[in-house]
Structure 1
Amino acid sequence: MSRHWIFALTTLFASLSATAAEPLRVSAIPDEAPTELQRKFAPLGDYLAAQTGREVVFVPVNDYAAVVEALAAGKLDMAWLGGFTYVQAHRRANKVVPLVQRQEDAQFTSKFIANVDSGIQTLADTKGKDFAFGSPSSTSGHLMPRHFLAEQGINPERDFAHVAFSGAHDATVAWVASGKVPAGALNASVWDKLVEEGKVDTSKVKVIWTTPTYFDYNWTVRGDLDSALQAKIKQAFLNLDPAIPAQAEILKLQRASRFIATQPENYQGIEAAAIQAGLLK
């Protein structure tokens, strides 16, 4: 074999090896504090690396829009999205694939909360008061609470004294607890977690209403990600077994009893709600 061919084959194998070694770039909408997102993802990242044979790197982002743009631009391979950010990503690129969701995401809810000293007992009592949503692009912290407020005949811009955006669910709770705003809305799962961990003083903050159910979060991949890798990732999530202690811990951190397959059709209701609310055109 000539030196030319030896060099060419060596270069080819080196290139293939480098490609195989490329990490799986993963991110998540920043609906909680960055340190909390990293803590929740670390064991899952190790599990996915073992299941796929790929190094998994978590890429933090500053806001919801950055996740959508990075996924659409191919700078991320996979992302944890809310129902609304999935719809935005699908509209932005039309090349994203929702793989799995938690079983809980098929019947998700939001909580409306109020400062105990505010005198607010019902949704109607929030009229004329300041009110906090999470991120403008949050499904459970903005879009769906706004949707259900409209069903109750409440228009935030018309009926609230001032509308504020805290940026994250845990921040909304902190704002209401401190009295910065008398009321707000957030992800029910985050509320439950904060209560369980003793990170919210229920003598200062109370739930005044829980929304009807809707589809929410999912793990989405860019559409041009290798199909075999997509299948491995999906199966890895579906295989998570609460009977195995290490995997039970992953599920606990993800606030999931188990993961189930999902599909684009599940988020048509979210898209319709966003259009009706004037958040999509």
Structure 2
Amino acid sequence: MGGCRALAIVAALATLGNGPVDDELRVSAIPDEGSPELARKFAPLGAYLGKALGMKVTYIPAPDYSATVEWLAARKIDLVWYGGFTFVQARRRTGNAIPLVQREEDAKFHTKIIVPAASKARSLADLKGGTFAFGSISSTSGHLMPRYFLMKNGIDPEKDFAKVAFSGAHDSTVRWIEAGKVDAGAVNESVLQKLLEENKVNPSKIRVLWTTPNYVDYNWTVRGDLDPKLIERLRDAFLALDPAVPEQRAILELQRTKRFVRTAASNYDGIAEAAKAARLIRDSR
């Protein structure tokens, strides 16, 4: 990470006291994984963006999902990695947040409902009366969409589970299941696959019980009042990432995708409607 001149990993929140800076791009991300992992994933992307834009790129770790929404509204960050639900919240809060690009996979995303391997559950109905873990309360794949689909399948989490807990992050949910701390949990399919590929979870201790239908999820979002020319240059930089170029392929692999594609605010209307149905927001602006 030391060789990435364009990138500054900033832990001190004092950085957020500054207003917009013309030659600096301030970036954050929802903490859907541990902070060290998010910083590791962003380092080469930040260096690439800094070179492409000719700007200093500063990464600012967020303590929770809601902080990224407030920071964007207060113009303390310029670019942020959001899940679909957090984008909806940011759009409602700011009125002009712009979803820039999404990974190709994010147009058809899924949540996995997982259980300990020894669980006797063979259907969602079998989970009634047990304990259940979501990720962060603001997570799309770790809370909103699994809650929505559970309700569509006749399960009201607060009424039908003995206890509902929030692990705070997808990797934590997986570890809770692996340790038998809860009877079932909802996890981002991409994070689960990564943990399995990196041997960070014992596949003999967990089992996928159910997979949700498709939904739209993550995107990179920018402040709506950024210079339109900078927004286009930023979008073009993401779209130009080429898996045929070794250094850029490494960036894409860390982002768990083969390419980024354009997206639009209207793509997340379904997320807003799901949030209404799940009683997590009151309306959809």
TM norm. shorter chain > 0.5: yes
1:234 paired with 2:229, answer: no
Written as runs of structure 1 = structure 2, the 5 A alignment for 1:1-12 is none
- The residue aligned with 1:250 is 251
- The residue aligned with 1:42 is 43
Structure 1 residue 19: deviation in Å?
Answer: 5.2
- The residue aligned with 2:261 is 260
Structure 1 residue 200: deviation in Å?
Answer: 1.1
The verdict on how the C-alpha distance between 1:19 and 1:208 changes in structure 2, with shifts beyond 3 A counting, is closer
- The residue aligned with 1:205 is 206
Structure 1 residue 237: deviation in Å?
Answer: 0.4
Give the CA RMSD over aligned residues: 1.1
Structure 1 residue 107: deviation in Å?
Answer: 0.4
Q: Distance in 2 between matches of 1:190 and 1:166?
A: 14
Q: Distance in 2 between matches of 1:121 and 1:201?
A: 20
| Partner-residue secondary structure (3-state), 1:117 | coil
1:70 paired with 2:78, answer: no
| Partner-residue secondary structure (3-state), 2:129 | coil
Deviation beyond 6 Å, 4+ runs, structure 1: none
Structure 1 residue 124: deviation in Å?
Answer: 1.4
Structure 1 residue 230: deviation in Å?
Answer: 0.6
1:163 paired with 2:164, answer: yes
Written as runs of structure 1 = structure 2, the 5 A alignment for 1:1-281 is 20-21=22-23, 23-281=24-282
Structure 2: gaps (5+ residues): 1-19
Q: Distance in 1 between matches of 2:124 and 2:241?
A: 39
Structure 1: gaps (5+ residues): 1-17
Q: Distance in 2 between matches of 1:57 and 1:68?
A: 17
Structure 1 residue 123: deviation in Å?
Answer: 1.2
| Partner-residue secondary structure (3-state), 1:209 | strand
Q: Distance in 1 between matches of 2:120 and 2:279?
A: 31
Q: Distance in 2 between matches of 1:278 and 1:37?
A: 30
With normalisation by structure 2, the TM-score equals 0.91
Q: Which one-letter code corresponds to 1:197 in the other structure?
A: E
Alpha-carbon displacement from aligned partner over 1:221-266 (angstroms, at most 9, x marks no partner): 0001111111111000000000000000000000011000000010
Bigger Cα Rg: 1
Q: Which one-letter code corresponds to 1:246 in the other structure?
A: E
Alpha-carbon displacement from aligned partner over 1:108-151 (angstroms, at most 9, x marks no partner): 00000001223222211111000000001000000000111111
The verdict on how the C-alpha distance between 1:20 and 1:156 changes in structure 2, with shifts beyond 3 A counting, is closer
Structure showing the higher helix proportion among its residues: 1
Matched residues, number: 263
Structure 1 residue 20: deviation in Å?
Answer: 4.2
With normalisation by structure 1, the TM-score equals 0.92
Q: Distance in 2 between matches of 1:252 and 1:122?
A: 34
Q: Distance in 1 between matches of 2:165 and 2:118?
A: 19
Alpha-carbon displacement from aligned partner over 1:82-119 (angstroms, at most 9, x marks no partner): 00000000000112111100000000000000012232
Alpha-carbon displacement from aligned partner over 1:46-84 (angstroms, at most 9, x marks no partner): 000001111101000110000011011100001000000
| % identical equivalent positions | 59
Q: Distance in 1 between matches of 2:56 and 2:94?
A: 25
